Amino acid sequence: MAESKVRKAAAPKAEPVVKKAAVEPAGKSAVKPAVKSAVKSAVKSAAKPAVKPRKPESHLAMVRRARRINRELAELYPYAHPELDFENPFQLLVATVLSAQTTDLRVNQTTPALFAAYPTPEDMAAANPEELEEIIRPTGFFRNKAKSLIGLSIALRDEFGGEVPGRLADLVTLPGVGRKTANVVLGNAFGVPGITVDTHFGRLARRFGWTAEEDPVKVEAAVAEIFPKSEWTMLSHRVVFHGRRICHSQKPACGACPIAPLCPAYGEGVTDPEKARKLLKYEMGGQPGQRLRPPADFPGEAAARADAVAHHGQVADLAVADPAVSDLAVADSAVAE
């Protein structure tokens, strides 16, 4: 009995000592941060929708999904269009050559003065290189571009009667013109269906699971087998629009993307809807578009003219200095076409 009383009396004294000496100091300094970290992690995990592992997809299933994506994009961008300002095939050809490694906006701010000085292939063929370079300087890489413009203008004057040819085989013989540029001109100036594989189109074609190819020519061939020829030109516009506005190169806005349920790459970008909406660009983000003269059905604002933007002489390193250029059209010369 005496021993039992001693144990009962001793036990309560031992417990507080252990708690005060070992648990409380350690708990306040180490346990709480760990708990907070775990809670934050759990909250983040709960906020992200569970991504079910996809079953292997048959070719037929992929084609059906791809065509559904095209239909969804058509509803999302019923106003999709080429984002270069032009009035004739020659202007579109020149503008497309200038668009390599810069924004369509920058080109649109440059071409009014360019076409005022050289309205025809004959005029541009006879241009003074230094004067031409000075006009197109804002687009970057102006010396190489000036050589291409003068070269293709001479070819148009001497070999095609001063007219832009309406055949792919002829267009790709012009200096500085590859399949991408040729398809832009054919699809938008001549109504000849073509798939324009710029960096946006190639990136989204891979994210959508249409192809794993990196080479633009192979991407074009793979996508051409999925869609009817009549869809090629508008498909190109829709995919490029989506790449510029939502499915960005570095931070795709997955949480604000209407195509997300059909996209195998969902989750590569920001999935939180609120954060994703802040990444939207152009009319999707309440900002002006890239054209100074957009189509009548374009829901956004027109872009500002060059004289409203201080940029002259500051774009030699545009591809590095301007974040908007980071995922723009690949130069045809870089595609080795």
Catalytic residue positions, numbered: 180, 198
Which tokens belong to 233?
A: 């030109």
Q: Backbone dihedral region of 161: left (phi > 0), alpha (psi from -120 to 50 degrees) or beta?
A: left
Give Cα 304 distance to the centre of its chain: 21
Those residues whose C-beta lies under 8 Å from the C-beta of residue 84, and which sit 6 or more positions away, are 92, 95, 96, 99, 104, 107, 108, 291
Angle at which helices 104-117 and 89-98 pack, to 10 degrees? Answer: 130
What letter does residue 145 receive in the DSSP assignment? H
Those residues whose C-beta lies under 8 Å from the C-beta of residue 118, and which sit 6 or more positions away, are 124, 127, 132, 153
CA atoms within 13 A on the CB side of 2: 0
Task: Report the C-alpha gap between 5 and 53 in whole angstroms.
Answer: 63
Q: Which residue has the tokens 């059906």?
A: 64
Q: Which residue has the tokens 């399949």?
A: 179
What letter does residue 19 receive in the DSSP assignment? I
Q: Which residue has the tokens 């604002």?
A: 301
Task: Report the C-alpha gap between 256 and 78 in whole angstroms.
Answer: 18
Which tokens belong to 283?
A: 């009319």
Give burial (CB, 10 Å; 0-12/13-18/19+) of 160: middle
In this structure, are residues 209 and 51 in contact, taking their beta carbons and an 8 Å threshold? no
Task: Report the C-alpha gap between 182 and 174 in whole angstroms.
Answer: 10
